[in-house]
Structure 1
Amino acid sequence: MKVITAVISTGSTSAAAQLLNVSQPAISKTIKLIESEIQMPLFERTGRKLRPTPQAFTILPDLDRMISSHESINQRIEEVRLGRRGVIKVAAAAMASSGLVPNAILRYRREHPNVDFAVTTSTTKEVSRLVYENKVDVGVCQRSIGYSSICSQAISSALIVCAMPDSHPLANLDVVTPEDLMPYHLIVSNFNEPVLGARIAETFTRRGLHPLRTLECNISLTSFALVSAGLGVALVDSYTVPIVGVTTRPYRPKIALQVHTIFSGDQPLSPLVSAFCDCVAQAAAERHRSTMPG
């Protein structure tokens, strides 16, 4: 295709050979082979010049498009090979999707501006399933349980904190304890995260306390909205970014949530995904420093 378009544009095999950096006999041989293959003349010979036939001009636009597509594919292959372009599919638990994952993508885009992302937010259980079924490249959540083929890498810890309106009496405290929460309606995480719910409940039962539980919510961002609406105070993870009008205070005793990147052990990570996992770990370390009190 390149030979035909080069000869049409230059008008001679020698000029086309120079343009394509090959020998003139190679150009002439290629033209003869093409014409024999398609059983149709593409050039008329007049001395040392080659004049395109009407048939050649007819197929020229299609040849140009095909060459352009071929070059685009080669460029895309090279970009993917070097980790410069592609699509990374990420599944993240809600606690990681509001702050950690966006910060990791922002960090990643500084070095890989042409890489696209598809992000799905769900529960830890669903994130694990998506990774297990190879529907996403990487998951960011608490440790996966029940899938032996999934590999996980611990990257950071979040803490349970207490969320309340900015003007709430609890906002005057440095640390919130179960005893402090007894006068107030409490929003806790439990639905689809039973282990976390049990750990929160244990901080009360150990002390013989029974809080005024009014709502259960499995997504911290929704808990913030419920707090903002005046429906109570909430125990949420420290990774989720609070909404306007809501503030958080450390909760004691400490409840730590280990955050992992998880991925399928059935196939190696691509350079793109491996580099993104590094960015998640870096963003997690930064978030950890900003949210974990000394």
Structure 2
Amino acid sequence: MDTDALRWFQQVADGATVTMVSELENVSQPGVSRALARLERDVGTPLLRRSGRTLRMTQAGAAFKRHVDALLHQLDDGLAAVDHLLGPETGTVALAFQTSLGSWLVPDLVSSFRRDHPEVDFRLTQVHDELVDSVLDSQQADLVISTVQPSSSALQRTLLLDEPLRLAVPSNHPLAANPQVRLADASTERFLVLQPTLLLRRMSDALCRAAGFEPQVSFVGDDVQTLRGFVAAGLGVAIVPASGDATLGSANGAIRYLRITDADATREIGMAWSTDRRLLPSADLFREHVVHRARSGHLPAIN
């Protein structure tokens, strides 16, 4: 059915004349009358009857109008929701991010963006390394911030920063007296590592192999925070990102974070999105904010 005809029927049923509807909607009077007649044909019975110079609802019209009111109310709510979504200052950004970036980088990006765009909402999702492509392909997220290079040609990625890796050691460890370390000097240590499916684990293994040894693994964990906690407990050493909550262990003196002098002891942090669909205005605005913040050197400092 023609939604204009439904709205005009609603207005006439509420007491407006065809002339008033015509003037309000900028449509000719015959055009309004023809639309109302088509609506009656679609319904299959008269909805309005003339009483003097006005139109009044028939019994069928009164029954029909209750549903028209509800339908148009829902339609208007839906149109308003779409307008809200498409507004660059009122939409929602679906952002996925790697867990280790959730304690420092993502909060900085979101809070700095919302200072200028306070009405934009965020739907935040933590994502494991192997799911970076899928959350974009399935449209669960508009943007993903991670250290993983997308494997799909339909995904575009921009580099935000290079994050150094550190060797976390207990504060009373013999290596802790030095600010930096060659991984070969830690070849006899017990290593606390992540699951083999995670990129940081693969990078750690590759660094150790390049240094001439296979790490002696004493614990395999699911997240970097657990590795830090076990290092603080004196259970081994771990290769961890330089940023994020690395300062937590340093603050209480339980952990020392040593700069690794070996080549390639860094990981790239980037932002990816799908090129198969257009970003909503609010998500595109956030993407521009992140890129500008990275290029202008305003991302959080890494110790």
TM superposition score normalised by structure 1: 0.75
Deviations 1:169-198 (A, max 9, x none): 479857242488689754345722354113
Is the Cα contact below 8 Å between 1:144 and 1:150 reproduced in 2?
A: no
The answer (yes or no) to whether the contact 2:120–2:282 under 8 Å persists in 1 is: no
Work out whether 1:196 is the aligned partner of 2:207: no
In structure 2, relative to structure 1, the CA distance for the partners of 1:56 and 1:121 (3 Å cut) is same
| Cα separation, 2, equivalents of 1:225 and 1:282 | 35
The alignment partner of 1:6 has SS state of helix
Deviation at 1:155, TM superposition (A): 1.1
Secondary structure of 1:37 counterpart: helix
Matching residue of 2:127: 121
Is it true that 1:92 corresponds to 2:97 in the alignment?
yes
Cα distance in 2 for partners of 1:221, 1:90 equals: 22
Of 236, 260, 275 in structure 2, the residue corresponding to residue 252 of structure 1 is 260
Correspondence for 1:53: 58
Task: Name the residue aligned to 1:221.
Answer: 225
Counterpart CA distance in 2 for 1:187 and 1:236 is 10
- How much does 1:31 deviate? 2.3
Aligned 8 A contact 2:132 2:150 in 1? no
**Quick one: distance in 1 between partners of 2:9 and 2:60?**
12
Matched position secondary structure for 1:251: strand
Q: What corresponds to 1:273 in structure 2?
A: 283
Determine the structure 1 residue equivalent to 2:44: 39
Deviation of 1:130 after TM superposition, in Å, equals 4.2
For residues 147 and 158 of structure 1, do their structure 2 counterparts lie closer, same or farther at Cα, with a shift above 3 Å needed?
same
Deviation of 1:88 (Å): 4.3
TM alignment of 1:136-175, pairs within 5 A: 136-144=141-149, 146-163=151-168, 168-169=171-172, 175=179
Partner SS for 2:260: coil
Cα distance, 1:74 vs. partner? 2.5
By how many angstroms is 1:45 displaced?
A: 1.3
**For 2:110 and 2:40, how far apart are their aligned partners in 1?**
52
Deviation at residue 89 of structure 1 after TM alignment: 4.1
Contact 1:187 1:232 in 2 (8 A): yes
In the alignment, the residues of structure 2 paired with residue 37 and residue 133 of structure 1 have an alpha-carbon distance, to the nearest angstrom, of: 40
Structure 1 segments unaligned to the other structure (5+ residues): none
How far apart, CA to CA, are the structure 2 residues paired with 1:132 and 1:52?
A: 51
Partner of 1:240: 244
83-92 vs 3-12, greater mean Cα deviation:
83-92
Change (3 A) 1:79 1:11: closer
Change (3 A) 1:8 1:164: farther
Distance 2:72 2:258 in 1: 62
Secondary structure of 2:131 counterpart? helix
Q: Paired residues, what number?
A: 285
CA offset at residue 122 of structure 1? 0.4
Identity of aligned residues (%): 18
Matches of 1:53 and 1:267 in 2, distance apart?
49
TM-score (norm 2): 0.74
RMSD: 3.7
The SS at the match of 2:192 is strand
Question: How far has the Cα of 1:2 moved from its partner?
Answer: 1.0
1:15: Cα distance to partner?
Answer: 3.4
Q: Which letter does structure 2 place at the counterpart of 1:196? A: M
Ranges in structure 2 where 5+ consecutive residues have no aligned partner = 1-5
1:68 aligns with 2:76: no
The 8 Å contact of residues 168 and 258 in structure 2, kept in 1 or not, is answered as: no
